[in-house]
């Protein structure tokens, strides 16, 4: 593994280049024949770092107030929709997540604001994760997630975060999510849609293979009979 690079504050004159890279990625995805793109604004990656008060200590037009911290997110979202059209662009947010040492002094305010602003772009959806038991074990607070932020986004809201079938059905029935995204269960169950539809037992995932190469844990899980 290569040595890590010490993070540095991004000079303001480099920010347009960052937006341009998102545009380039969106354009390449379109040329490759994809149906749309999801902007990754979660889990401690660059856009999330700008959005959260725990990591964004800037004093220019991209730091300080919620509006300034959300500026890069909104610029990227607007730029990507110029390539695809808003109905082919989604965005992923993790308001309660602490992965990569993320923190925010007021996630309800921060993510409520950005979701209201994103609503104006009429995106295909917002993918807002809920706090998981793993997040709580790493210091997250269970209280700010898609259920609390549902009213702030005027569009399709997808959520994810350790849902089983019953929990997913409950979220849909209660109306604070329009769809449930499954990650880990899909790794272990190549026929997950059928298993959920027919309420079949799921294969347990082998976590030791999650970040490994080779076919084990990738192509060897059996389908339901």
Q: Is 58 exposed, middle or buried (0-12, 13-18, 19+ CB in 10 A)?
A: middle
Residue 4's pLDDT is what?
Answer: 84
Residue 118's pLDDT is what?
Answer: 99
Q: Which residues are catalytic?
A: 45
Below-70 pLDDT ranges, the chain = 1-2, 142
Q: Let me know how long the chain is.
A: 225
Q: How far apart are CA 65 and CA 148, in angstroms?
A: 21
pTM of full prediction above 0.85: yes
pLDDT tens profile 106-138: 999 999 999 999 999 999 999 999 988 777 877
Q: How far is CA 139 from CA 84, 183, 198, 207, in A?
A: 37, 22, 36, 22
Residue 142's pLDDT is what?
Answer: 65
Residue 1's pLDDT is what?
Answer: 59
User: Any bridge partners for residue 206, and if so which?
Assistant: none
CATH fold of 12-181, please?
TIM Barrel (3.20.20)
């Amino acid at each position: 593994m290569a040595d890590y690079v010490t993070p540095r504050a991004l000079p303001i004159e480099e920010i347009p280049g960052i937006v341009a890279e998102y545009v380039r990625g969106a354009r390449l995805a379109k040329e490759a024949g994809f149906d749309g793109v999801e902007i990754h604004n979660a889990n401690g990656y660059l856009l999330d770092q700008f959005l959260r008060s725990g990591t964004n200590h800037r004093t220019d037009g991209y730091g300080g107030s919620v509006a300034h911290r959300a500026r890069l997110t909104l610029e990227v979202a607007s730029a990507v929709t110029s390539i695809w059209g808003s109905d082919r662009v989604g965005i992923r947010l993790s308001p309660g997540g602490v992965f990569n040492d993320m923190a925010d002094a007021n996630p309800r305010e921060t993510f409520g604001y950005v979701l209201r602003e994103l609503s104006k772009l009429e995106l295909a959806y917002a993918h807002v994760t809920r706090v998981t038991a793993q997040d709580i074990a790493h210091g997250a607070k269970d209280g700010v997630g898609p259920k609390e932020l549902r009213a702030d986004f005027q569009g399709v809201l997808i959520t994810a975060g350790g849902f089983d079938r019953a929990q997913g059905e409950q979220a849909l029935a209660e109306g604070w999510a329009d769809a449930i995204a499954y990650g880990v269960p899909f790794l272990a169950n190549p026929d997950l849609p059928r298993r959920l539809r027919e309420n079949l037992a799921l294969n347990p995932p082998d976590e030791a293979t999650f970040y490994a190469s080779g076919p084990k844990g990738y192509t060897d899980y059996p389908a339901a009979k």
